[in-house]
Amino acid sequence: MISEKMEQAFCDQINKEFYSEYLYLSMQAYFERLNLAGFTNWMSVQIQEEHAHAIGMFNYLHERGGKVELLAIDKPQTDWKSPLDVFEHVLEHEKYVTSRINALMDVAESEKDRAALSFLDWYLKEQVEEESNVGGVLAKLQLIGDDKHALLLLDKELEARVFNQPVIG
Ligand code: FEO
């Protein structure tokens, strides 16, 4: 049986993962408005990943005999200045999520919950990949600057991203 403290920490993180999904859905809407199909696709894949992250913890908490309490999801930002502005926001958000996963692992450590620590290891590795992936797109956007032609080429490249259902834990 999972401790109450651990249970609450998981519920809080489930909420953060659903907020991430919501935030990226708002970013997808922004890219839809700009008619950038590749950026739209990139966000739609990101949304599915965030959903998988949330459901992974949702399932795990049940597996451990815990109670899932779904919390209110904050309203996300709806407008950005540019694709660069969006990706700066994504990287900043992913760094925040990484800090929350670390905090969750701190709780697992203080609760001496080694099973949770082992489960969360997957999320920690996933955050390294997420930050690297986002950082890669951000670096290209920084290089592109105001070059609209280069932006359209990057948009084309981002059309290739596909969602692979992760095996969590
Ligand atoms: Fe679920 Fe992008 O972290």
- Which domains are assigned to the chain? 4-71+78-158 (1.20.1260.10)
* Ligand 1 atom closest to residue 17's alpha carbon, by position in its atom list: 1
User: What is the reported pTM?
Assistant: 0.97
- On the question of pLDDT at 89 being above 90, the answer is yes
Q: How confident is the model at residue 1 (pLDDT cuts 50, 70, 90)?
A: confident
91 C-alpha to center of ligand 1: Å? Answer: 10
Evaluate whether 2 touches 68 at the Cβ level (below 8 Å): no
Question: pLDDT at position 169, please?
Answer: 85
- Residues lining ligand 1, Cβ inside 6 A: 17, 20, 50, 53, 94, 97, 130
* Ligand 1 atom closest to residue 93's alpha carbon, by position in its atom list: 2
11 C-alpha to center of ligand 1: Å? Answer: 15
Query: Which percentage of the chain shows pLDDT scores above 90?
Result: 99
Residue nearest to atom 1 of ligand 1 (CA): 50
- On the question of pLDDT at 67 being above 90, the answer is yes
Question: pLDDT at position 25, please?
Answer: 98
* Ligand 1 atom closest to residue 53's alpha carbon, by position in its atom list: 1
Question: pLDDT at position 7, please?
Answer: 98
17 C-alpha to center of ligand 1: Å? Answer: 6
Q: How confident is the model at residue 47 (pLDDT cuts 50, 70, 90)?
A: very high
- On the question of pLDDT at 97 being above 90, the answer is yes
* Ligand 1 atom closest to residue 130's alpha carbon, by position in its atom list: 2
